[in-house]
Structure formats: structure tokens, C-alpha cells
Chain A
Amino acid sequence: MKHGPINLRHLLALCRKESYQIVRDPSSILIAFVLPVLLLFIFGYGINLDTSKVRLGVVLEDQGIEARRFADVLKGSPFLEVEMGTGNGNSRTAMQQQLQEGKVRGMLVIGSDFSSRVRSHRGVASLQLLTDGAEPNTANFLYSYLQGCLQVWQQQRATDQGLPVQTFSTLEPRYWFNPTTVSRNFLVPGSISVIMTVIGALLTSLVVAREWERGTMEALLSTSVTKTELLLSKILPYYVLGMVAMTLCVLVTTMLLDVPLHGSFWILFIVSSLFLGSGLGLGLFLSTVTRNQFVAAQTALIAAFLPATMLSGFVFEIASMPIVIQGVSYLIPARYFVSALQTLFQAGDIWHIILINSAFLLASALFWLGLTALKTARRLDD
């Protein structure tokens, strides 16, 4: 029987078949619904780039008033959990031991001449800070926290002594879009891109290859199914699955993880659709070309999942990457999606950012889906 590129009955029958396969395969349900929630909680609670309270060991060799006052400032800091060396523990070697064992993240030595130097204005009263350079993030945090404490202590001292506080200007930071600089607020939206990549590329990389491996493709090709029907029947069910998973992600993000969504849900929906289109396209392309589930899944992992985590700017800032890698990141659709996601969640509907990113996502989706259409066989030797 001759018909156009799409016969609705064929398409529906194929979509229904695909849906049964999704629903009956526990692994696809696991990937689509359990994995996203799990990942969201890991990114939401497990990974936290803010070091909320750092344990600092203090070796107080000087019992003078200045030294003790400084120690009190340290104890009062909301960012530090101060562990004062006491008794035998109050020695450099004992504290070093603690640092090596990871019980404290840094140690501060207040030398025995600290108070006297401060009082007598003999030279500079220096303090020694030892931190674990293997964790540069924490080390840097600790350094800036201590700088802050030092400033507070100097101000207090000046006020106590009735001296004018010698500050020429102060920096008043205001963190826009994420006023409390909670890393969860940008990590969690970013992680949605990873989840969508997993569903889009990883899941679909299996589906066409599976038909080849099980011999079902050969049987389908001998019926009057057209290329368009075949392709659409792979895209539509997985698109629906992906969008349901996306909605689930947004609900978990906003309601359970308390990450605010400033932009419109519908724009988020459209942007996600575009990204999913690109992911589905890539997954189907790999599946179509390799005709082998294992190879397709491995390639999808390397071509989609890893770049989406590492080069999308969702954890690692693109601006601080080497220039070549920055160039490469322009080829990663997840980059545009992460940018759009972070904008939508934290800033709202900033049109020019959304539109530019959407344009790139659309281009990527068209590219991969087009390539898949080109490579979809209607014969075994195509």
C-alpha cells in the first residue's frame, strides 16, 4: 500500500510498542525517574562548594591579653570552628599531627611574642597559618576568613583604645541573583542538564541498536514502515519520557531543595525541549550508526555525558578554563543549556541570554536529528 511519509496508524502502533518497552524495562524507569532524583539530591546536598564551617586548630603559645582577644575573635566567627590546643595538645607538633590526620583543616600559630610585639609596636606581629594545600579551595577559604578576623580584631582594638579606625574605603559586596551565594542554587539547575543528557543520549543510544541486535529491525524494514515513521516512533516516546523526568526534576528542585525558579516554567520547558531534541538526536545517531548497544552506550557516555558534566560550566567555570578548552566548550550543547538554566533559575527571563542559547540548542538539535535521518537505513546495505 502506498502512502505518504507518515501513516498515523503505523506511527501510533510503533509509539505504543516503544512505550510498552519503556514501561516494562525496569532499567529505563530507573534511568528516567530514580536516577534524576538521586542525582539532584547528590548535587543538592552532597556536593557543596561552600565551606560553611572550617575547623581551625589554634596553638596559643602566648597567654598575653592581645593574643587571647584575637583568639576570641576567631571563636566568634560564624565561619570557623576553633579547636584550641590545650595541655599537651597545645604544641606545634601535636597540632600538626591533627592537621595530618585531617581532624583540623588548618592550624594557626600565635607565637609567644605576639602580645608583646603588638603592644610595643616592635616590627610586625606575625601569625603563622598552615593549611592543606592539597585542598586549595578550603585553604583559600581559610585564608580569607582569617584576613577578615584580623580586620575585625584591629577595628575592635582601635575602638577599645578610643583611636580612630583607619579605614580609607571599604568594599561592600552584593551578590546578585544568588544573594546568599548558596552553591546549591546554581549546582542544582546545572545538574538538570546532566540528567537530561543521561535520558536523552544514553537511553536513546540503546534503542535503535537494540532493534538491530535482536533482529527486529530486519522484520520492521520488510514491512511498509517509512523512514519518517521509524524515526518519529523513536523520538516521540523518549521526548515525552524526558519531559516528564524534567518536570519531576523541577518539582524536586523547587519544592524539596528550595531552589528558587525566577524565570517562567514555560520558557524552561521550551529550552529543555530543544536540549532534549539535541540529546535524542545524538543518542539516536550513535545507535543508528553503530548498530551495537555496547558501543553506542560507551560513545554516548564519552560524547555526551562527560562533556555535559565537565565542559558545560555547571561545576567548573568555563571562563577559568584554558582558551582551547573554552573553544571546545562551544561545541557542547550542554553549555548553552546550563547557561539558560542558571539564568532562568537564578535571574529570571533574561531574553537575550535565553534566545542566544536557544538558537544554539535548536541548531544542535536540527544537526543531530538531520544526521540521524540521513543515516537511518531503509535497506540493510544502506
Chain B
Amino acid sequence: MTPNPPSGAISIADLHHQFDGRPALSGISTAIQRGKITGLVGPDGSGKTTLIRLIAGLLKATSGTIKVENLDPIANASQLRGQLGYMPQKFGLYEDLTVQENLNLYADLCDLTGTARNESFKKLLTFTDLARFTGRPAGKLSGGMKQKLGLACTLLGSPKVLLLDEPSVGVDPISRRELWKMVGALAHDGITVIWSTSYLDEAELCDEVLLMSEGLLKFNGAPQEIINTMRGRSIQLRELGTNKRAVLKTALHCPEIIDGVIQGHALRLVLKTAGVLPDLASLNAGPNAHFVEVKPCLEDAFIDILGGGPGGTSVLAEHMPIARLAPDIDPDSVIEATQLTRVFGDFTATDHVDFKVKRGEIFGLLGPNGAGKSTTFKMMCGLLRPTSGQAKVMGIDLKTSASQARAQLGYMAQKFALYGNLSVDQNLQFFSGIYGLRGKAQQEMVNDMVRVFNLEPYLNTQAVTLPLGFKQRLALSCAVMHHPPILFLDEPTSGVDPITRREFWTHINGLVEKGVTVMVTTHFMDEAEYCDRIALIYRARTIAAGTPDALKLMASKEGETDITMEETFIRLVERDDSERKVAA
């Protein structure tokens, strides 16, 4: 083999790919460095997976060239496969097979035998901390452990190039961090890594990033390089004296501001031009409010490249009537869990959980995979019966009159739960019908939703083929058509790009301003910042509860300010682990 050119382990020139005439990748050219982690970032449908599959030789490009270690992925497929480790989005673990049997299978498939085999097993099992679980079926591992096992299987053949397609999706922050450390160690040993992700904070840690959008390569370089272009443009508005959501809405209307999110009690804003601040007085943020310049991040840059975030006004919310409570309902406990417990066999999924949610509040349930958030959540919307304790919505006990309570709430499920093979219009008709709307009232409501969410061009499109952002809109519209005073959102934005996420939160913020009470679960730690209060669920129990700022304070070491929500989460969980260890 000829010596590898110094330019890179993978070189791509003018790559185009189409699916049935629809372009998925247009004119990608880049060189990917050996021994570095290259982050592949972009919204869903931007072409990340297609690019990885083309590199892995699983798809044949429409035109253009790819060379991986000087080999063509199609023409030299059999040679290349020995040097390539590919971990698809849903890694191919056999769930009926144990950890060891999965490893054996992949070791055999890459002809790893003898002592080398046993050494690899030992090394990888230590590396992934799975040595204790070799006899456990892969299907019984947690999400994070599955990803680690997937990575171990991919690494068995000692690949020179590692392709990871969204390895951290559905993995909680703690496992994500471990996975990241493992891959960092591999890159250090000279392996070329491509890591595709929709988490921009993760991409920020990569040596290089490829920012993709709609099949185009928007940026290629070190993350710091693009973050530097944002210098002076990221600011925080602190010590708000008034309602943060109202201020955000006003701020997003300022021409000087292109993007903004809530961070605890403060707002994080991105300026159009460095140094050009909006008029503080016009924001109505209270007497003590002031701007502080903060470090820009990759997400700021990404939003900037995509042309700024969406506006701050939710047409949906403007359209909704004020959600009023009946006089006999205590506005301080619209949603209430008392000693809520659920036992499955000998496993306690939710263990004496308590919380109260006020009217017009966003309440977040956070926790690692398998901590019991979903179980708690399902009990609160009457989909699951508590073993003991009480779940109440608007003063109605879900155990005794679940359907009466359900009429009061809108529910948006974690996965797309609409009818994929019905059109947008048919879905709207169906759900409005379920909520008891008939005749003229029904048609009016459907028309309103179509107008509010700009669904007009997609009315006759099958829901399953909608772009993700529109699926999201349709799901939300189906959840709010009956003007529920309470909204339950189960991981509503998982896998959604930052722009769509912002748009979604604009709606939620708008609805809350109208007095709607929202309960939400999420994996995105920066999304937790939107919540007024958070309950951190871990191993079936609430280990911490309070405002985002209070939680951060709880997790901070002395003199430390401004730790991220993710760091907070990890520290609180680790602290609980050590406390339980002491107690045991």
C-alpha cells in the first residue's frame, strides 16, 4: 500500500447523493484528519447518516469520490471492511444474546482468535466497565450500557476508522460522558473517529466539526474557530425583576437579537452584531436587570449560520383562551403527587414521590434512563395505576376518575404517536373528534390549527412523511385542540434540531403565559432551564427538587458560579450514589 497522504484518513470530493431524485447530499468536499474526533453536526434530515453510510460503503454515492485510507468504499469494500468500525444509530446488538455472546459473534466475524481475542475481550470489558455483566442478555442492559457494548463490538477488529452514528441519542448525561471519554482515548491512540450528533455541546468538544444543513456542508473546521466569530455576541440578561417569559418574548422581537433562550432566572441572548445591545428599558425587565457578556458556544454559531432562531410570538398561544380554573381548585396544586409508588414485581419503579405543580408553571421531571420518570409521568396522566399513593390532576384523583381527569389534559407522547398513514387533515379531524368536537366547531378548530402551524401545504401529506419539525407541530396541535388547562409532554424534543426546539418552546412559553400548566420530561439539560421547577428522579426517588438555579447552587462547590445544568445533574446523581453507598 502506498504511504497515506498527510491530508487525512478520509478524503471526500464533490460528493452528491440522491434518494429517488431528492438530494440528500450536495457537493460535499472535505478531508478528515487521522487520530482526531470529527463531529458531524446538523439537524435531523441534514444528511449526517447518509454521509456515514456512504463512507461505510453501505450506500453507493450518486456521484463524487470517497477515499478511506486510500480505499474506495464500494470498489474495495472487502478490504476496507476489515479496517472500518461502524456503529449504526440503533446498534446491531442481539438482545437475546448475552454480552459475552455478542462479543464472541463480532470477534468471530472479524477473525479475532487465540490470545489476541482474549486480550481484546479483557481490555474492552474493562474499558467499558461491562465485565460484571458478561452473562446478562444485551436486551436487559440500560441504554448507556447498550451503547458501550455496541462500541466494544465495533472496536473488536481494531479498526483504523471508527464511524459512530449518533452514539449518544437516548443516553443520559452520565453515560454520555463515559462514552465520550472512551472515544477520546481511542482517538489518542491514532484512530480516526467520526462522531455524528445532534447535541451541540458534545460537538463543541470535538477536534473538528462538520456542520451540515439540508445536505450542504456549512462549516468545516475546529469548533473554536467558528465560536470565535461569535465573540462579543453572546450575552446574558440577569436579575430579571419581571416575568422571564414575557421578557424573552419582547427580546426576540428586537432587531438586535437573533436568538434567545431561558437559563434559570436569566435569559441568554445572541446579538446580531457584537456590541450592539438592545435598549434595556424597552425590555421591561425590571430595575436591576443588566447585560453580562458570556462565552459564546457552538449552538450560538450554529443558529447564526442557519439564519437566527424563530421569533418569540406563539400564534398558537395567542389563539388560546386563558385557561381558568374552577373556583374550588387550589391554584397552588393543579397537579399533585402524594407518596406516589409503583411496583413491578420485585422492582420499584417509582418510590414515594411527592410534588405539587402550580397553575401556569412549567414543571420538569429529569433523570437518567430507567430512573422512573416515565413511570411517574404515566401515572400522572392516568395511563398507569399507582401501587400506592395518589396522583391528582385539577383535584381529580386519577385512580377513581381517570377519564374525567384526562379530559382536562393534553398529552404529547415521546414517540410520534399520530397515525402515520393518515394525512395531516385526517389526523386533525380524528383527534378533534376524539375530544368531542363536532360539526362547525370541529371544522373551525381544525382550520385554526392549520393556520396557526402553517400546515396548509401539507394537508394531504401522510403524517409519517412529514419533515420532523412539522410532525412536531402536528403532534402539538393534536394535543392542544381541546384547550386543555394542563399539558403533559414526554420528551417532546428528543432528536429535534435547535431551531425546531426553540419554536416548540416559544409555543410552550406562550401557552404558560395563558395560564396553562405544563409538566415535561427531557434529556436535554439546557431545556431543563426553561422549567420553573425541576424534580430530579434517580433510582425511583426524587433526589433533588427546586428551581434550576437552586439545583445549580446545590451542586456547586464553594466559590463556583455558573455551572451547567448537565454538570449539576451529574454531580447530584453522583452525590446520591455515594450517599446510598454510605447508607448501605
B-binding residues in A (CB < 8 A): 1-2, 7, 9-10, 12-14, 16-17, 20-21, 24-25, 211, 214-225, 378-381
Contacts and interface: CB of A to CB of B under 8 A. Distances in A.
B343 interface: no
A361 B58 CA distance: 36
B448 to A, nearest CB: 37
B58 A379 contact: yes
Given A21-B97, A25-B96, A215-B88, A223 B59 contact: no
Interface string B55-88: 0111110000000000000100111011010111
B86 A20 contact: no
A100 B348 CA distance: 60
A10 B108 contact: yes
Contacts, number: 94
B101 A17 contact: yes
Contacts of B108: 9-10, 12-13
Contacts of B119: none
Contact of A222 (B81, B95, B96, B97): B81
B190 interface: no
Contacts of A380: 53, 58-59
Contact of A214 (B78, B92, B110): B92
Contact of B56 (A211, A220, A222, A225): A222
B111 A9 contact: yes
Nearest to A379: B58
> Main secondary structure on chain B at its contact with chain A?
loop
A21 B137 CA distance: 11
Given A378-B77, A379-B57, 11 more contacts: A1-B78, A7-B111, A17-B101, A20-B101, A215-B92, A217-B92, A219-B86, A222-B56, A222-B58, A223-B109, A225-B109
A219 B91 CA distance: 7
Interface string B105-116: 110111101000
B158 interface: no
B577 to A, nearest CB: 31
Contact of B92 (A2, A7, A12, A219): A219
Contact of B105 (A17, A25, A211): A17
Nearest to A23: B96
Interface residues on B, range: 35 or more
Nearest to A215: B90
8 contacts: A17-B97, A24-B137, A25-B96, A215-B90, A220-B109, A222-B84, A379-B59, A380-B58
Contact of B106 (A7, A12, A16, A223): A223
A1 B78 CA distance: 7
A68 B95 CA distance: 76
B89 interface: yes
Contacts of B53: 380
Contacts of B104: 13, 16
Q: Which has the most chain B C-beta neighbours within 10 Å: A214, A219, A378, A379?
A: A219
Contacts of A381: 58-60
B58 A218 contact: yes
